[in-house]
A and B are shown apart, each in its own frame.
Chain A
Amino acid sequence: MAQIPNLDNSPLNLKSLREQSQKDLVKILKDIRGKKCLVIEPKLGGSLSLIIQTSLLKEYGIELRHLSAEPVQTDCTKVVYLVPSQRDLMKSISSHVHDDISKGLQREYYIYFVPRREIQCERILEEEKVHHLITIGEYPLYIVPVDEDILSFELDLAYKQCQVDGDTGSLWHIAKAIHKLESTFGVIPNVRAKGKASVLVSDILDRMHTEEPMNSSEMALSEINTLILIDREVDMVTPMCSQLTYEGLLDEFLRINNGSVELDSSIMGVQQEGKKMKVPLNSSDKLFKEIRDLNFEVVVQVLRQKATSMKQDYTEMTTTNQTVSELKDFVKKLNSLPEMTRHINLAQHLSTFTSKPSFLAKLDMEHTIIEASSYDICFDYIEEMIHKQEPLVNVLRLLILFSVTNSGLPKKHFDYLRRELLHSYGFEHMATLNNLEKAGLLKKQESKSNWLTVKRALQLVVEDTDTANPNDIAYVFSGYAPLSIRLVQHAVRSGWRAMEEILKLLPGPHTETKRLGFASSPSFATLQGASNGLDKIADGRRSLVLVVFVGGVTFAEIAALRFLSAQEGMAYDLIIGTTKMVNGHSLVETFFETIG
């Protein structure tokens, strides 16, 4: 099975989007004649693995390298860098060029920036006096389809840059990406945004529309009915909680990267000692599609059932006489055997983590914090974690959860915990703490927390969640309904207006826009009439809602969204856009800055 997801079942024609990106890349490579060395920034390489198979690239006379500080070792006279527009990479490239010059190597250099060239990068090349030696181009990859309903803008640092550095460049990229979608699938008539960054994205998007008005004749009837923008800032509680769906847990423990996990082959039952292998995880795997969004407890049961029924079939097969068609059915079932084995292996591996008392204790603590009932127990628990020098990320996740739900910590505790952190993990983490403070994730308490009100109003804690037959999104966290998805649930159902009061309690402004300039479209009248909620598009297809998470989204949240979309009486397909697939770990890690 390939890592590149099969997009045939996507509610949007994402395949054409991906094919365009493939073509763009191939064109760049073809246009540079002859043999060349392609140097890709590793993270970008990961994203590209969702676009094109690397083996295909080799057909164009390419030696493939990953960008690092080390000089490029190659016989090719043409070196092509494919890199995101990041300042720090420019230094590496400049040093490569200087290194070649000092060795007397004459090479042609090309830099293709993803998704566009930026002055700040070129400026560094100029200062390093290599700009004139390099041919600069662009590879406009704004959107990477991660799965049939997930689009990633591949901006992994977006949240940190916005919150800590005040660098909102990524918001422009998001708007641009959405604008690109609109140029293919039509202008989205309804836009709802919550949170500072979301509103900014919506503003920039509006601006793009006035700057380059889409020709109404060229414009297709909009395939996407509504855009909902949710700023991660609005809900930092959810990503800090441990995800309990199958896919979420895989991500928590094994880290899903660009739709696959890498693990020891021995875990997958392949006897190759010490070798790592990649296991792709996307909806092309039918079994995975079925179980990815289930609570892990249930997954184990489902797998057991399947295995049992298969065993039964097998015994029947060996003991009784079968007709040919029954044989055929059986063989068909056998086809799913590799998938079964794969997920049984994975699930088994996961349960070694989930059965640990420490994991259960952590879950317990997360719920205690969310319940916001016993401050002291939580405080003591976190204090002890620090004293035991448990991994810093784990501590910070819980601490952020604690601080956010309490809207900060009393100054005494704040200073005390920070001091203990610095003492235990080293003073270099001062910068990390400073970043978290700037982002408002770990701060001094200045006002009373309204978490309890929010929790109650949005029914975030659901008692007696039946994870096997869920009737609410709370099943993804075994009893906690993710705040972000509750917002989406309301936004889809009735727009913001019905929940103004609650929205005001959450950080950042909210806006609701109707795009005009849409009058020529025949469906305008029906859309107008649908101000409360959305209507079905006339042809009976379900209309589409694009939910964009500015700052990242977790697999558990996506599971909750898919659950919503699968509910009866829900007239919309949901498609998810995100700056990056994240979890608590990866999100917290972006704030890490060891001084130096």
Chain B
Amino acid sequence: MANVSVAAEWQLLYNRYYRKPELYPLRWKNIDLSRNKVACAPFGGPIAVIRDDSKIVQLYSESALRKLRIFTSSGVLISDTVWKNPGGRLIGMSWTEDQTLICIVQDGTVYRYNIHAELIEPNVTLGKECFEQNVVECIFWGNGVVCLTEGGLLFCFPDFKVMRPCQLAETGAEDLPNCMAVIEPKYTVSGNVEVLVGVGDGILIVDEDGVQRVDGEAVQGPVQKMVVSWDGKYLAIFTHDGRILVTDINFKGVLLEYNCESALPPEQLAWCGLDSVLLYWDDTPLLMVGPRGDPVHFFYDEPLLLIPECDGVRILSNTSLEFLQRVPDSTVSIFKIGSTSPAALLYDALDHFDRRSAKADENLRLIQSSLPEAVEACIDAAGHEFDVSRQRTLLRAASYGQAFCSTFQRDRIQEMCKTLRVLNAVRDPEIGIPLSINQYKLLTPSVLIARLINAHRHLLALRISEYVGMNQEVVIMHWACSKITASLAIPDATLLEILLYKLKLCRGISYAAVAAHADKNGRRKLAAMLVEHEPRSSKQVPLLLSIGEEDTALMKATESGDSDLVYLVLFHIWQKRPPLEFFGMIQARPLPRDLFISYARCYKHEFLKDFFLSTGQLQEVAFLLWKESWELGKNPMASKGSPLHGPRIKLIDKAQHLFAETKEHTFESKAAEEHAKLLRIQHELEVSTKQAIFVDSSISDTIRTCIVLGNHRAAMKVKTEFKVSEKRWYWLKVFALATIRDWEALEKFSKEKRPPIGYRPFVEACVDADEKGEALKYIPKLADLRERAEAYARIGMAKEAADAASQAKDGELLGRLKLTFAQNAAASSLFDTLRDRLSFQGVS
């Protein structure tokens, strides 16, 4: 039976089955792992191969220059380059999480390559000490590395994304360590990397801040090799006396112990998932040790490389790549020899069904209520299969079972099909990413897509992202950029068309980013064409500036209505162009021009004057000068009446002349002239009165001050000098006299001649000063009866007010006056009678 043949390939370790299906026969030729340094990226990533310069190897028909070659996991060459880097021997080589190849040479220089074997500038170095001491060993983890120097110092890149080296604490040990292992930052309490150093008789934990010695039953005597499990919880140790131990990361207890009977440490020590440990010496079979039971031996006649994964180990040899994993429980339940689990019965039922045997039904009846579990197991097992036809059979079994099963979640099969399609697509030898389903889930689809586009597998990436319902923007964006880089020979217009066709697929994609890339690749014209399509001004405008399209940038910024963008462009042009050219650019554009003026008004006065002069707006210059004159006045250094008035007046004069240049500004010109004159007069007044109270007050205030000071002649002089109207003159003088309570003078003034504005000012001044007696002198002289009534009312003379109001025949006024006298009952009844009489008259 087919079932039997499946399980026949399994190996039993205590009570667990292991299998190692071949993922690929390798397509490469003449690669001998033993001659080369090899770095394999986890999650089915690429393989980097370079001749090992620490070994003496015979050269066949090949160049003496070493070549760095990068293959897919299926052994298809992706790229290669000649290794010419200085710095001595290559010590460590490993892939980072984002698939950059890190190569560390003796002097501590770090060379970085992308998957296309292109050197990523700049090269980084571990530092001066490393340069002097030589690196002897590197321990990598997903995103960092720890390097050991000949002097026993430890250096570290905690994060390849930042590439900032740091030195760890000195161990103080005399000898170089026997072995080292790293606990990744994400698994340590401190969040910093910790290094386990096997030195002398024990293990030290070293981090940035200090060194700590380890105690524990697992550590008794020197340690020759150790490795941390991928989840950072366990440690496998190979001891000096040939035993392999597994302990938890805090060295509490021993979970596994096995004597390998070898004094030499294994060349490679690797975790297979979390269940067993693999040991590899190059002259003995590969040894797999589990917590209990006899170890398993795998026989190989060629050199091997163990690539630990989260759920197993990939075994790379010269000719093939295998995946050693613990057989998943669902698979065991179906294919284990003699299994009668519901899942096995279901699988069997499908077989009978295909052969049109009635036993199919019998099997189903046997399963009965366990059918959902059986279906689930078949789906799960299908997921773990690498063999497509077996995936299909298992899924068909599941689907067959589901037909009899009403309660099962129907989209489970569909989901698994989706996942498997993705997995099978990337497992294709041409692509060469042999992900297991667990790895895929851990890696996440978005990272897988990022890796595919990184390897320039855009179409596949696009299809996958569409298929799993992810945003395709990343893929299209990367494609567009790669396309630009790769299409130096295609003319701009053609390339633009090609790009637009695909960019249109994705709403909201950043055309500006693509354009920026085009510009970086020296294709400014293409960049300009692309950026035209960017809808977001905030992205478009900066780019237009960087490609020198200043005019367009200014236009687009203005269109956006975002003043901040306009300023961005303005400052850019302002800095780059000579002033006149700058002025020319903004002059005809209202928004940029006004924003410039507004900024310059606050911060660049002189420059603004230049601008106004260049555009012939002389009045604006005049205003600026006038303003400056005021600032001079406010200057605390300029005590009032000081000679500083000279420059002030000069500025105002200048302003006046500029205003006079244009007909439209005669008013301003006149005002400036008067202002200058006023300052001169005020200055004289301050000198003659020896009181610094005139400068910067208004003409009216100056007149008032003069009157208050009793200097009527000066007041008169100011009046005639500025042709102050009689009306204003009367108000000013009346109020000024009231201020100094010179009632006599006021009365005299009222009799000078008939006041041009009547006697109201006199009344108001007296009422405001609460001088009823004085007010009464003028109230009867008020010509308007209403005014008279109100005036009486204001000084509380109800009867007189009522009389005047009734004379005026104004009912509304009477009503209002009544309100004023609301508290006074007698007065209010008076108003009522009067009003009644009025309305009566009105009716008759």
Contacts and interface: CB of A to CB of B under 8 A. Distances in A.
Interface of A: 87-88, 116, 118-120, 123-124, 127, 161, 165-169, 171-172, 175, 200, 203-204, 207, 210-213, 355, 357, 360, 383-384, 386-389, 415, 418-420, 422-428, 430-431, 434, 594-596
A116 B564 contact: yes
A207 B561 contact: yes
Contact of B728 (A88, A423, A434, A595): A423
A166 B594 contact: yes
A124 B604 CA distance: 10
Contacts of B675: 427
B808 to A, nearest CB: 16
Contact of A120 (B537, B567, B667, B816): B567
A357 B625 CA distance: 44
Contacts of B595: 166-167, 169
B560 A119 contact: no
B220 interface: no
A418 to B, nearest CB: 7
B698 to A, nearest CB: 4
B727 interface: yes
Given A168-B591, A427-B671, A430-B668, A596 B630 contact: yes
B561 A424 contact: no
B142 interface: no
Given A87-B602, A387-B731, A418 B667 contact: yes
A217 to B, nearest CB: 13
B700 interface: yes
B697 to A, nearest CB: 7
B634 interface: yes
A430 B508 CA distance: 51
Contacts of B603: 87, 124, 127
Contacts of A595: 626-627, 629-630
Nearest to A383: B727
Nearest to A120: B567
Given A119-B571, A426-B698, 9 more contacts: A123-B571, A167-B595, A167-B598, A204-B561, A387-B732, A423-B722, A424-B700, A431-B623, A431-B627
Contacts of A431: 623, 626-627
A357 B594 CA distance: 45
B696 interface: yes
Nearest to B700: A424
Contacts of A207: 537, 559-561
Nearest to B822: A355
B536 interface: yes
Interface in B543-578: 559-564, 567-568, 571
Contact of A430 (B536, B626, B725, B735): B626
Interface in B679-738: 696-701, 722, 724-725, 727-728, 731-732, 735
27 contacts: A87-B599, A88-B602, A120-B567, A161-B598, A165-B594, A168-B561, A168-B563, A169-B564, A172-B562, A200-B561, A211-B535, A211-B536, A212-B508, A212-B536, A389-B700, A389-B735, A419-B667, A423-B698, A423-B728, A424-B698, A425-B700, A426-B696, A426-B701, A430-B668, A431-B627, A595-B626, A596-B631
A119 B567 contact: yes
B420 to A, nearest CB: 29
Max chain B C-beta neighbours (<10 A), residue from A161, A384, A595:
A595
B304 interface: no
B537 A423 contact: no
Main secondary structure of the interface of A (DSSP, over half): helix
Interface of B: 507-508, 535-538, 559-564, 567-568, 571, 590-591, 593-595, 597-599, 602-603, 623, 626-627, 629-631, 633-634, 667-668, 670-672, 674-675, 678, 696-701, 722, 724-725, 727-728, 731-732, 735, 757, 790, 794, 816, 820
A418 B562 CA distance: 36
Contacts of B697: 426
A596 B634 CA distance: 8
Contacts of A383: 727
Contact of B508 (A168, A213, A415): A213
A383 B672 CA distance: 22
Top 10 nearest A-B pairs by Cβ distance? Answer: A166-B594, A169-B563, A596-B630, A426-B698, A204-B561, A427-B675, A595-B630, A387-B731, A423-B699, A424-B700
Contacts of A127: 603
Interface class of chain B by DSSP:
helix
A159 B195 CA distance: 65
Nearest to B540: A211
A357 B602 contact: no
Nearest to B732: A387
B794 A357 contact: yes
Given A172-B561, A430-B626, A431-B623, A210 B594 contact: no
Contacts of B725: 420
Q: Which of B538, B603, B757 has the most CB of A within 10 A?
A: B603
Nearest to B670: A419
Contacts of A123: 567, 571
A358 to B, nearest CB: 10
A127 B607 CA distance: 15
Contacts of B735: 388-389
With most chain A CB atoms within 10 A of its CB, the pick from B602, B623, B631, B696 is B602
Contacts of A594: 630
A596 B700 contact: no
B567 A434 contact: no
Contacts of A166: 590-591, 593-595, 597-598
Contacts of A175: 561
Best-buried of A87, A118, A388, A420 by chain B (most CB within 10 Å): A388
Given A357-B790, A415-B667, A596-B631, A434 B623 contact: yes
A161 B598 CA distance: 9
Contacts of B593: 166
A201 B674 CA distance: 43
Nearest to A117: B564
Contacts of A168: 561, 563, 591
A596 B633 contact: yes
Nearest to B703: A423
B623 A428 contact: no
Contacts of A386: 728
Contacts of B507: 213
A426 B727 CA distance: 18
Contact of B731 (A172, A360, A388): A388
A304 B718 CA distance: 55
A418 B701 CA distance: 17
